Chain A
Amino acid sequence: MTPSLLIVALALLSFIAFQIGKARALSVAGGARGIRDLHSLPGHYGMLAALWAGLPALLLVILWVSLQDRVLIAIVTSHLPASVMALGQDGFTLFLNDVRNVIAGNIPASQVSAEAAVAATQYVRLQGYSRMALTALAFAVAVLGLFITRSRITPELRARNSVERVFEGLLFLCSLVAVLTTLGIVLSVAFEATRFFNIVPASDFLFGTRWSPQMAIRADQVGSSGAFGAIPLFAGTLLISFIAMIVAVPIGLFSAIYLAEYAPSQVRKVVKPLLEVLAGVPTVVYGFFAVTTVGPILRVWGESVGLDVAGESALAAGLVMGIMIIPFVSSLADDMITAVPQSLRDGAYALGATRSETIKQVVLRAALPGIVGGVLLAISRAIGETMIVVMAAGLAANLTANPLEAVTTVTVQIVTLLVGDQEFDSPKTLAAFALGLMLFIVTLVLNVIALYVVRKYREQYE
């Protein structure tokens, strides 16, 4: 049976187990009138039987399927003739690709080497055995679970408590997914990055000023040709984020102030959602906007005042990114401003402060930690933003502070290094993970600080 069919079959079996468990509970209770003698409702007994029949078998299937491929490949590899083993790292990878393609039916066996064809046949045969074994084992576990539970059903059995413990466990697992995700990010990205740092020293990466990851094709040039100094990328990222902040922070902050403190409620009701529309627009749309509209406009303006603006200038990418971040800043600032208690405003008004004096010196002053936190979050977003810069910023790793020139960013390079055909072990690919690790660490630090500041601020006025 294929794994998906097996899961359907197990679900069916669980349903049957539910009915059996329920019937058994009714019979030990001596019919419907005896239900009050049971510890739990008959349905709970049924559920317990269903869980015991279904869950262990399901876990077995998931574990088996996720490991099956690696085990089978290992077995097939161990039976390969010496000629294949002599191919070397790259040759072997290609060989395995051939084998996989034959297995998947993408190419007929006649088009690959005889060894690969044999290996593929062996794999398919082993896969057949493996599936048979899994089917038998899963059913055995399920039926065993069902019968043991059925024999345990007595009026005293605390079926509801057991069922609920299982459900609580499942809920706990759900909440653990988030932790596992973080763990997965840290482990996988850090693992690949470590491999990168084994090839390229971390100091070259962190402090080098030349970035040209195109590796030479011949093996003897590795290390002598590619340059992995990430400083130009960091500088480019900062430049674009800085431009974005120059656009987003004043506009976002002032529109939040205007909408919260000045605008009549009808205006606020219309304008606020209108600005928030900007937050719902996919970033790829901003990227397109930057390339087709803002970039050319800037170039024409530049020409008219005698400035040479690059086609993919940092300015265009930064401006558009700033527009994207406006609603983010304004809604955070709005939250912070409205959280300032009215009593503080009253205090200032009662002293005869004008509205702007109250806002500038009391409201903003009180909301400052929250706003700073919000701006930090916005910076973290700008640094991690990908599509706008991939589309509107360049690939050239220029180390410059001139916003009219093209710069590249960390995210652009990750995308460039990883999109398209690639081998998994080249420094080029691994460099992307090293960059990803940097990105993750920097944004994480910013987020942790920002969330801490914002939370402290909220607590102050709660």
Chain B
Amino acid sequence: MSSTNNSAVKSAAETQQQVRNSLARRYRAERRFRFYGFAAVTAGIAFVVFLFGTIFAQGLSVFQQSYVKLEVFYDPETIDPAGNRDPDDLVVADYQALVRAALREEFPQVEGRPNLRELYGLMSSAASIELQRAVTANPDLIGQRQTLWLLADDTIDMVLKGNVSRQAREDERRLSDQQIGWLNALEQRGDLDLRFNRSFFSNGDSRDPEQAGVRGALIGSLLTLLITLLLSFPIGVGAAVYLEEFAPRNRLTDVIEVNINNLAAVPSIVFGLLGLAVFIGFFGMPRSAPLVGGFVLTLLTLPTIIIASRAALKAVPPSIREAALGMGASRLQMVGHHVLPLALPGMLTGAIIGMARALGESAPLLMIGMVAFIVEVPQGIVDPATALPVQVFLWSDLPERGFVERTSGAIIVLLLFLLLMNATAVWLRNKFEKRW
């Protein structure tokens, strides 16, 4: 220890001077580092704002749709020439002629076939379907006049919402100058207006943007999620209870544990391949069915639910287990009477988060064929169906301008459901969270 004469040992004052000299440089580095962090957080928040901003800017208008006010005459000559009101005949009658007649009444000066065709192009084909529904529901309408707001074509809708400019070149806006003139006339008379978009929530898919709705996809998603929840929650809780409360520590349970953790990180599309090969290829289950979708999403969400349920079980203090066992309860009674009820809120939270993940999942559903163009709203778990995120995928690929808005609208509906589920999970956690 006789080293005080070594050059490395300096006086305190010398050292202080050196430290002071280093300060400016070090504080610059400090500020720079802090700025990087701040910039990263800002960038992250900017992404959130930008993402949601564009989606909502493009999609909020979907909740309104252009309707034209027309006075429709339910002409008996056209729809019920036989005069017997036979329901079979009424279904197949030419309702389009009624819409056209109403349009001609609105613009009596239009003449000539090409001009008339342009005029008819103002209305959606859904207008005649609406008339058909009205008449078959109430045949007494025949022979009467009725003022109705009927669905306009999506080209009109896009102009009215300002997505396509009236001043654009004729071929870009997909409307002729003549049609723009009619459009202006209708708007001035107050016969063309944006009203709440019923069909978006009541229709299935369609090739026409103005008729396309999310109902089919929404029901498909709900059916799929129902299957997923019914299977994955009991199995997930069962697995968690076994691993946490019963499993002996041996090689097999180690394998199961590692397995579950790895399964949670397997890409979702691989689960789709599994569903395709096993459920459809091997067991011969129907394609495009919510049943198979539910099976695949069950396998996909199971690891999430098991991990969350185990965490909930771990949070129950051992003293409660000991108390129950001390009273002479069997292990199963201890779990069933004491541990499970205490862990249930945590497990439910995990299940809801798993369901939210399943609701947003689309890749595995593509694999099992839930990606078809399906107009009908599915009635059961083996009907062909699609799901909400898949509907987004399908619509995003379509060229019509109107589908951009539909896609964003479907995304908004999807996000609202996710928000609802996550809010429920947070509420549940806050309400039942116990600190031991």
The answer to whether A and B assemble together is yes
Q: Would you call A184 an interface residue if the criterion is a C-beta within 8 Å of the partner chain's C-beta atoms?
A: yes
- Residues of B contacting A271 with CB < 8 Å? 41, 45
Given the interface pairs A69-B284, A285-B411, A385-B267, the reply to whether A356 lies near B47 with Cβ below 8 Å is no
Chain B stretch 220-273: residues in CB contact (< 8 A) with chain A? 234-239, 241-243, 246-247, 253, 255-256, 258-263, 265-271, 273
The answer to whether A170 touches B238, judged by C-beta atoms less than 8 angstroms apart, is: yes
CB distance from B61 to the nearest CB of A (A): 15
Cα A381 to Cα B235 in complex, Å, equals: 26
Q: Is the CB of B273 within 8 A of A419?
A: no
Q: Which of B269-317 touch A at CB < 8 Å?
A: 269-271, 273-274, 276-278, 281-284, 299, 302-303, 306
Contacts A185-B274, A355-B30; A447 near B265 (Cβ below 8 A): yes
Q: Does B60 contact A (CB under 8 A)?
A: no
When each residue 404-436 of chain A gets 1 if its CB lies under 8 Å from chain B and 0 otherwise, what string results? 000000010011001100001000000011001
- Residues from chain B with a CB closer than 8 A to the CB of A451 are 258, 261-262, 265
Asked if B366 is at the interface of the complex by the 8 Å CB criterion, the answer is yes
Check if B361 sits within 8 Å of A282, measured CB to CB.
yes
Q: Does A26 contact B (CB under 8 A)?
A: no
Cα–Cα distance between A357 and B28 once the two chains are bound (Å): 12
Q: Is the interface of A mostly helix, strand, loop or mixed?
A: helix
Task: Let me know if A255 and B41 touch, CB within 8 A.
Answer: yes
CB-based contact A281/B415 at 8 Å: yes
Asked if B332 lies at the interface with its beta carbon under 8 angstroms from chain A, I say yes
Say yes or no: is B416 at the interface (Cβ < 8 Å to chain A): no
Is B259's CB under 8 angstroms from A179's CB?
yes
A377 to B367, CA, bound (A): 24
Contact of A262 among B37, B235, B268, B302 (CB under 8 A): B37
* B270 pairs with A185, CB closer than 8 A: yes
B contacts with A, residue count (CB < 8 A):
90
- With A189-B273, A258-B37 already in contact, the answer to whether A444 and B262 are too (CB < 8 A) is yes
Does A217 have its Cβ within 8 Å of any Cβ on chain B?
no
A194 to chain B, nearest CB (A): 12
Q: Which listed residue (B283, B363, B369) contacts A411, Cβ 8 A? A: B363
| Contact A354 to B58, CB < 8 A, known contacts A168-B246, A274-B48, A443-B267 | no
Contact between B48 and A275, CB atoms less than 8 A apart: yes
Flag if B33 contacts A284 (CB, 8 Å).
Answer: no
Alpha-carbon distance A257/B371, docked complex (angstroms): 42
Q: Per-residue CB proximity of A235-256 to B under 8 Å, as 1/0?
A: 0000000000000001111110
Residues on A with beta carbons closer than 8 Å to the beta carbon of B234: 174
Is A362 among interface residues, defined by CB-CB distance under 8 A? no
A189 touches B284 (CB 8 A): no
**B33 x A359 contact (CB < 8 A):** yes
How far in angstroms is the closest Cβ of chain B from A110? 22
A356 pairs with B265, CB closer than 8 A: no
Closest to A353 in B: B26
Contact call B269/A285, Cβ cutoff below 8 A: no
Docked pose: A260 CA to B260 CA in angstroms: 30
Nearest residue, chain B, Cβ from A174? B238
Residue A178 at the B interface, CB < 8 A?
yes
Q: A259-B41, A352-B19, A384-B270 are in contact. Are A175 and B396 (CB under 8 A)?
A: no
Q: Is B110 at the interface (CB under 8 A from chain A)?
A: no
Contact of B45 among A181, A250, A274 (CB under 8 A): A274
Q: How far is the CB of B154 from chain A (nearest CB, A)?
A: 17
Are B273 and A432 in contact, with the CB atoms below 8 A? yes
B144 to chain A, nearest CB (A): 40
A289 to B55, CA, bound (A): 8
- In the complex, whether B44 has a CB less than 8 A from a CB of chain A is yes
CB-CB nearest in chain A for B49: A274
- Centre residue among A170, A259, A414 by max chain B CB count within 10 A: A414
Are A356 and B54 touching (Cβ within 8 A)?
A: no
B34 in the interface (beta carbon within 8 A): yes
Chain A interface size band reads 35 or more
**Closest chain A residue to B234, Cβ basis:** A174
**Residues A175 and B256 in contact, CB atoms below 8 Å apart:** yes
Which of B27, B253, B371 is the one whose CB lies under 8 Å from A419?
A: B371
How near does chain B come to A175, taking the closest CB pair, in angstroms? 4
Establish whether residues B263 and A182, one from each chain, have CB atoms under 8 Å apart when the complex forms.
yes
Residue of B nearest to A177 (CB): B235
Residue of B nearest to A259 (CB): B41
Cα A69 to Cα B279 with chains together (Å): 13
Q: Are A443 and B40 in touch, CB under 8 angstroms?
A: no
* A291, B359: Cα distance in complex, Å: 22
The CB with the most chain A CB atoms within 10 A, among B255, B277, B302, is that of B277
Is there a chain B Cβ closer than 8 Å to A301's Cβ?
A: no
The reply to whether B270 and A171 contact each other, CB–CB distance below 8 Å, is no
Q: Cβ of A46: which chain B residues have Cβ within 8 Å of it?
A: none
* Interface membership of B36, Cβ < 8 A: yes
Among the interface residues B33, B45, B273, B418, which one has the most CB atoms of the partner chain A within 10 A?
B273
Contact indicator B58/A292 (Cβ below 8 Å): yes
Q: B148 at the A/B interface (Cβ < 8 Å)? A: no
Most buried by A among B33, B260, B267, B408: B267
**Is B65 an interface position by the 8 A CB rule?**
no
Closest CB in chain B relative to A141 CB, distance in Å: 23
Contact with B along A251-290 (1 / 0, CB 8 A): 1111101110111000000010011011011111111110
Q: Are B29 and A176 in contact (CB under 8 A)?
A: no
Q: Are B239 and A181 in contact (CB under 8 A)?
A: no
Say yes or no for A313: interface residue by CB 8 A criterion.
no
Q: Taking the complex as formed, is B362 at the interface, i.e. its CB lies under 8 A from any CB of chain A?
A: yes
A97 contacts the other chain (CB 8 A): no
- Shortest distance between the CB of A346 and any CB in chain B (Å): 18
Residue in B239, B265, B276, B422 whose CB lies within 8 Å of A443? B265
| B116 close to A (CB within 8 Å) | no
| Docked CA distance A356–B26 (Å) | 9
- Residue B51 at the chain A interface, CB threshold 8 Å: yes
Option from A164, A188, A282, A330 in Cβ contact (under 8 Å) with B362: A282
Among A191, A252, A280, A391, which residue has its beta carbon within 8 angstroms of that of B422? A280
Determine the chain A residues whose CB is within 8 A of the CB of B50 once the complex forms.
Answer: 293
Give CA–CA (A360, B39) in the complex, Å.
Answer: 17
B122 CB within 8 Å of chain A: no
Q: State which of B34, B262, B274 has its C-beta within 8 Å of the C-beta of A189.
A: B274
- For this complex, 27 residue pairs linking A to B, each with C-beta atoms less than 8 Å apart, are A184-B274, A185-B271, A185-B274, A188-B282, A189-B270, A251-B40, A251-B44, A254-B36, A254-B39, A255-B40, A261-B37, A274-B44, A281-B360, A282-B362, A282-B414, A284-B392, A284-B396, A285-B389, A285-B392, A292-B54, A292-B407, A354-B29, A357-B29, A384-B268, A414-B269, A433-B277, A448-B262
4 tightest Cβ-Cβ pairs between the two chains A and B: A384-B267, A258-B37, A282-B360, A174-B238
Given contacts A168-B246, A387-B363, A391-B397, list 7 more A-B pairs with CB under 8 A.
A174-B236, A282-B362, A282-B414, A381-B267, A419-B367, A436-B269, A443-B270
